[in-house]
Amino acid sequence: MTRKIIMAGNWKMYKTVDEATELVEQLKEALADVTGREILVCPPFTALSAVAQALEGSNIQLGAQNLYPAEEGAYTGEISPRMLVDAGCRYVILGHSERRQYFGEIDPFINHKLQVALAHGLRPILCVGETLEQRGEGRQKTVVSMQVYRGLQGIGAEAMKDVAIAYEPIWAIGTGQTATPGQANEMHWAIRNNVEGLFGSEVAQETSIMYGGSVKPDNVDELMAQPDVDGVLVGGASLSAESFLRIVKFQS
C-alpha cells in the first residue's frame, strides 16, 4: 500500500505577515504541478489568516505550530483548535521538542491536545524524539516508544488515519547534525512497530512517519529513499523558497 507522503515546513518564530505571504506566493507557483505528496506550511499564528487567503486554490495545506486543548476560555496567550480551523488550518504540530523543552509540555498534556485536535477535524503531527544523552545510553527506542504510547492513548484505530508522527531526534534539531538515513529508518521502523502494537498491522502500514532534524536539500533525497520515511518536517530550510522547493521536489 502507498502511504501519504507529507512534506511540511515549520516556520517556528519567523516571518512577519508580509514575509509569510511573499514566501507562499513563490511556493504555490513553483509547486503547482507537484503531485503524489501533501505539501504543508506552518507559519506563526499572526500570519495564519493571511497565508490561508494566499494559498486559496493551491495544492499547499495550512498547519499551525501548536494549540491549547480548549475551545475558548481564560487562557491568556493561547490559541484554540476552533480558532485554528476558523483561520483555515488543516494540520497542527503537537509535542515538538521545543514545546517539551522550553514550555514543560509532557506526554499526557500532549495526548490531551491530540484528542482535542482530532475532535475539531484537525490532523495532528505528533512529534517524538530522544536527546543526545539518551541516545548515548542506548535508550532511544525506549524513550521514543514511551512518547508514542503515551501520546496516542485513547485514540481509536479509525482516528489514526488523520494522525501523522514525526521522528525528530532532539540532538539533530537546528544543530546541523542529522541522523544518518539508516539511523532515521531504524527509528521509523521501531515507531511503526509501536503503532502496530497499539492498533494492528493495517493501521501501522497506513500511518505516515516523517523525519525532522536539520533536513536540507543535500540530504533529503537519501532520507526519502528509506522505506519507512514518509516525509519530512523541515525547520530552517523551509524559510527559503529555493531550499524548501528542492526538498519538496526530492528525488529518490
CB neighbour class for 215 (10 Å; exposed up to 12, middle 13-18, buried from 19):
buried
| Ranges of H-type helices in the chain | 17-30, 48-55, 81-87, 97-103, 107-119, 132-136, 140-151, 181-199, 201-206, 220-224, 241-248
| Catalytic residue, candidates 96, 105, 130, 188 | 96
29 is catalytic: no
Task: Show Cβ contacts of residue 149 under 8 Å, excluding neighbours closer than 6 positions.
Answer: 194, 198
Q: Which of 105, 130, 168, 188 is catalytic?
A: 168
Helix, strand, or coil here: 107? helix
Could you confirm whether 120 is annotated as catalytic?
no
231-234 and 6-10 strand pairing: parallel
Using alpha carbons, select from 167, 42, 168, 150 the residue that is nearest to residue 105: 150
- How does DSSP classify residue 74? S
The amino acid at 69: P
Secondary structure of 79-94 as H, E, C letters: CCHHHHHHHCCCEEEE
Q: Which amino acid is at 244?
A: F
Write out the catalytic residue numbers. Answer: 96, 168
